[in-house]
Amino acid sequence: MGRLIWMASYPKSGNTWMRAYLHNLLRNPQQAYDINRLGEFSFSDSTIAFYKPYLTKPSQDWTSLEVMETRWKAQRDIGRMSTDDVFVKTHNAHVEFEGLPMIQMDLTAGAIYIVRNPLDVCISLADHYGSTLDEAIDVMADPRNGTKTGDQLVFEIHKDWSTHVLSWTNAPGPWLHVARYEDMLKKPLVTFTRVARFLGLNPERSRIERAIQASSFENLRGQEDQKGFRERSYKAEKFFRVGKADQWRTALSKAQVDRVVETHKQQMERFGYWPL
C-alpha cells in the first residue's frame, strides 16, 4: 500500500498545471501527456466512486456525517491502488468537519501546496463559476464556502481563501512543499526543480525542461482547444483561460482590490502579495 502525496490548492490556483508537470516528468512521454488522462495517474479525494462501496444509498441521500465517516476509507483505498506513494489532488482545506479530518495524516507521505495571489484567483474563479467578480470575491471571503455532493464528486470544504492557505501552511516541515503560482510562471526551471527534489527525485535538467515545456500553458491550452478538457466547468468557456499573473491590475477596480486586501492581507503578506 502506498501513502498519499497531496497536490493541494484553493480552486483555480494552479493545481492542474502542477499535476500536468508531474505526469510529464514521471512518465516522460514522447509527446505531452494527455490532459484528459490525468486521472489515470493522480486521483481526486472527492471522486464519488471511492465512497460508493461503503454508502449504498443514492448519493443524494448521503448525510455529511456519513461522507465524513467514509473519507478515511476512501483515502485508504486510494493508497491501496499502488505499492508506491500515490498523488492525490485536493481542493479541500486541511481542517476538520463534523468533528473529523478532511485530510488523513496517518495515510499521508507529504504535500505540495500551490498558492496564488487571491487578486488573480478571484478573476479565474469568476470565470470558472460563471459569476461576477464581486460574487467571486464574496465566495473567497466566506468561511462556509464549499461544494455539494453530486453524481461525480462528494462535497468539499474550501473555507475562505485565507483559512485554506493557513490550514495547509501553518505547520511547515519536511512533509510540506509550498510553490507559488507566480514562481511557476516566472522561474519555472528553479521552481519545478525544487518540486522534483522535494519528491526525492534527481532527474537530469533536460528531462525537467521537457516536462516544463510539455505542461506549459500554451501546450495545455492547445490540447484543450483541440479535444476539450473533461475537468472544465460547464459554466466556463475554457479551463486554461489566460495563464498569467497580475491580471488584477487591469481587471479589478480599486474598490474590489481593497475588499480582497482587507480580507486577506495577513496571508497575502506572508507570500509576497502585499504590499502591492
For the residues of 218-229, what is the DSSP string, one character each? Answer: HHHHHHHHHH--
3-state DSSP: the chain helix, strand, coil percent, rounded to 5?
Answer: 50, 15, 40
Does 34 map to a domain? yes
> Which among 266, 245, 222, 269 has a CA at the least distance from the CA of 123?
245
Contacts of 151 (CB under 8 A, 6+ apart): 48, 59
CB 108 within 8 A of CB 175: yes
CB 29 within 8 A of CB 215: no
Measure the CA angle with vertex 233, ends 231 and 238; round to 5°: 85
End-to-end Cα spacing for the chain: 46
Q: Cell 525544487, residue?
A: 194
Total structural domains within the chain: 1
Task: Note the pLDDT tens digit of each residue in 100-121.
Answer: 999 999 999 999 999 999 999 9
pLDDT band for position 219 (cuts 50, 70, 90): confident
Q: What is the overall mean pLDDT for the chain? A: 91
Does 130 map to a domain? no
Does 59 map to a domain? yes
Mean of pLDDT values over 5-30 = 91
Does 109 map to a domain? yes
Cell numbers of 87, please? 498523488
Does 136 map to a domain? no
Does 9 map to a domain? yes
Rounded Cα distance between 166 and 176, Å, is 13
Rounded Cα distance between 214 and 29, Å, is 9
pLDDT band for position 269 (cuts 50, 70, 90): very high
Helical axes 133-140 vs 254-270, angle rounded to 10°: 30
Task: Note the pLDDT tens digit of each residue in 141-185.
Answer: 999 999 999 999 999 999 999 999 999 999 889 999 999 999 999
CB 227 within 8 A of CB 167: no
CB 178 within 8 A of CB 169: yes
User: DSSP label at 141?
Assistant: T
Rounded Cα distance between 64 and 99, Å, is 11
Cell numbers of 254, please? 480599486
pTM of the model: 0.93
Q: List the domain range (segments joined by +) for residue 60.
A: 4-116+146-238
Mean of pLDDT values over 215-241 = 64
Does 57 map to a domain? yes
Does 110 map to a domain? yes
Task: Note the pLDDT tens digit of each residue in 73-104.
Answer: 999 999 999 889 999 999 999 999 999 999 99
pLDDT band for position 234 (cuts 50, 70, 90): low
- CATH assignment of the domain containing 191: 3.40.50.300
pLDDT at 33: 67
Contacts 24+ apart (CB under 8 A), 220-227: 220/16, 220/17, 220/20, 220/35, 223/32, 223/34, 223/35, 223/36, 224/35, 227/36
pLDDT band for position 15 (cuts 50, 70, 90): very high
